[in-house]
């Protein structure tokens, strides 16, 4: 059961990055739905990047922090599940 938990915690960042990338490209979720990819897509206009940087810095930092957190938890769970390696 520990290997399943480790696999899931290491797979979640890939799923998050995939959904964010697809939504950013316009293939995934659309504008009425709130998603980090949709927020980043809406913030890619030049005026927003120049005058309202919090509209893209917030979602970008959140994506990075959540992906890193899941990676660290998955790595720690992998080390805890297999102490002999």
pTM above 0.85, yes or no: no
pLDDT at residue 65 greater than cutoff 80:
yes
- What average pLDDT score do residues 67-77 get? 87
Q: Are 70 and 63 in contact (CB under 8 A)?
A: no
**pLDDT, position 63:** 92
Q: Are 9 and 2 in contact (CB under 8 A)?
A: no
Distances (CA, A) of 31 to 15, 28, 40, 43: 20, 10, 11, 12
Q: Tell how far CA 71 is from the center of its chain.
A: 11
pLDDT, tens only, 7-60: 888 889 999 999 999 988 888 888 888 888 888 888 888 887 788 888 888 889
């Amino acid at each position: 059961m520990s290997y399943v938990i480790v696999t899931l915690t290491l797979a979640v960042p890939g799923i998050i990055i995939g959904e964010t990338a697809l939504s950013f490209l316009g293939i995934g979720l659309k504008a009425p739905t709130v998603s980090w990819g949709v927020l980043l897509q809406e913030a890619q206009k030049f005026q927003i990047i120049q005058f309202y940087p919090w509209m893209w810095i917030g979602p970008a930092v959140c994506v990075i922090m959540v992906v890193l957190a899941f990676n660290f938890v998955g790595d720690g769970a992998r080390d805890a599940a297999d102490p002999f390696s």
